[in-house]
Amino acid sequence: MMQLNWLTKRPIAHRGLHDLNDKRWENTLAAFDAAAKAGFSIECDVHLSADGVAIVFHDEDLKRLTGKEGQIDQLTAAGATALHVGGTEDRVPTLREALALINGRVPVIIELKGIAGRDDGLVAAVANELKGYDGHAAIMSFDHHLVRRFPVEAPGIPGGLTAEGVKNSDIEAHFSMLAHELAFVSYNVHHLPNPFVTFVRERLNMPVITWTVRDQTARTQSDLFADQITFEGFNPGAMLA
């Protein structure tokens, strides 16, 4: 099993160290720089542009983050990076730009946002950007069809399952993904404990991080059943191991 002590060493800033989209918005270079300077790991989201470039952006729709109409995957990389985020000076970054800025200062965990039927090439595009990257990095996704591609299209890069749910059908679906060389799990903090997370931690000795922790109460819950938090909206302190 991969050694992933770095994954759980420090709290992970959800979409960077933003200020809940007041002046420093999520998934921007400003948020990533602030997280790195504060000593927090960084979680970010990526979509695939129309011309096959990994773009750092959470939503499929452009409206909330840019005020524009349309879908992120319908834009070229040039079109996406021309857009300002939240009316600030920050523009939508490519993954290449984000990695260049972070530059190995802190670990980065990249969540791949799939759009079924329109995301062919996303895993390979992210893996290509991580080739030769001089820093700790991992990838993860909710989308099972993308996670199944990780071992073949992103070999050597730690791959995780982002997950939630407490129903038997949810848990069974998550267990089925253990056949695809998972290195870690990222789980909804409000859905702990559950048999899947207990199994991967206690039986497989696999690290579990949680999302999204927004206060000390949720952090306490995470600390009971997982190994590290993905947080926003408060300062948990770096608490380096």
- List, in order of start, the domains of the chain with CATH numbers: 14-142 (3.20.20.190), 158-234 (no CATH)
Residue 238 has pLDDT above 90, yes or no: no
Residue 137, strand partner residues = 108
Of 20-24, 36-40, 234-238, least confident by mean pLDDT is: 234-238
Average pLDDT in the chain = 96
Measured CA distances, 194 to 21, 174, 184, 205 (Å):
32, 11, 16, 16
Q: What is the mean pLDDT of residues 182-187?
A: 98
pLDDT of 241 strictly over 70: no
- Has residue 217 got a pLDDT over 90? yes
The residue among 156, 195, 151 whose CA lies nearest residue 173 is 195
Q: What is the mean pLDDT of residues 134-156?
A: 97
Please report, rounded to a whole number, the percentage of residues in the chain having pLDDT higher than 90: 96
Read off the pLDDT band of 2 (50, 70, 90).
Answer: low
> Which burial class, exposed, middle or buried, applies to 97 when counting CB atoms under 10 A from its CB (0-12, 13-18, 19+)?
middle
> Which residues, listed in sequence order, are joined to residue 11 by a DSSP beta bridge?
none
Q: Which amino acid is at 32?
A: F
Q: How many helices (H) and strands (E) does the chain have?
A: 10, 9
pLDDT per residue as tens digits for the range 24-62: 999 999 999 999 999 999 999 999 999 999 999 999 999
HEC sequence for 11-71: CEEECCCCCCCCCCCCCCHHHHHHHHHHCCEEEEEEEECCCCCEEECCCCECHHHHCCCCE
Which three-class secondary structure state does DSSP give residue 138?
Answer: strand
The answer to whether the beta carbons of residues 226 and 7 sit under 8 Å apart is no
